[in-house]
Amino acid sequence: MIKNKLKEKLNPALHYLIEYSYANMYKELSKNIYEMILNNFIKENIDICCSWYCGTDYELLDKMGYKCHYYDMDKVVTEVNSHITKNVHTVDVVFDDVKFQKNNIIVNKFCENTFPLGKLFNGDFILAGSDSNHLSNINKISSCEKLIEQNNLSTVYETRTFFNRYNFYLVAGCNI
């Protein structure tokens, strides 16, 4: 199981982070993103920003043949993720010079933690954000419309919301 493989490479005092990343809330988020990819895109290249521990995404996407690259600025996260996939990048997608794959879908799983990526990059997106009041959330998301507006999406393919401890808002669209 991927979860155990991730834990093998992490200090036992930090195993709770892996458990947290496998909580039902994050499994549901990854499942919704996966369904939105299937419903709206034919592309195989997926660049996942703010990837956190990527085990659930790896199980859903990489094992189904998608070519995923995972981007996170936390070196502990990317070091652990590198034990399940070589396509891991320790970068800040907002401030570093990032080269995404060609013909890709940009996925931002935690828009509440970042500057809107649609203002920095053009293309197809799946954007997910929540209204969690966590201190790291510099860009609290309160609606799908906010994601659309912030990321300059000119075409919207699908929107979704779900509640699990707090509200999640997801949008599949394009800003070209």
This prediction has a pTM of: 0.95
Q: How far apart are the first and last CA of the chain?
A: 39
In this structure, the strands spanning 124-130 and 166-174 are antiparallel
Q: Residue 140 has what pLDDT?
A: 93
Vertex 112 angle, CA 106 and 92, to 5°? 55
Q: What is residue 73's DSSP assignment?
A: S
Find all residues with CB under 8 Å of 108, minimum gap 6, and list them.
49, 50, 114, 117, 125, 126, 127, 128, 129
Please determine, looking at this structure, whether the domain spanning 2-174 carries the CATH number 3.40.50.720: no
| pLDDT band for position 56 (cuts 50, 70, 90) | very high
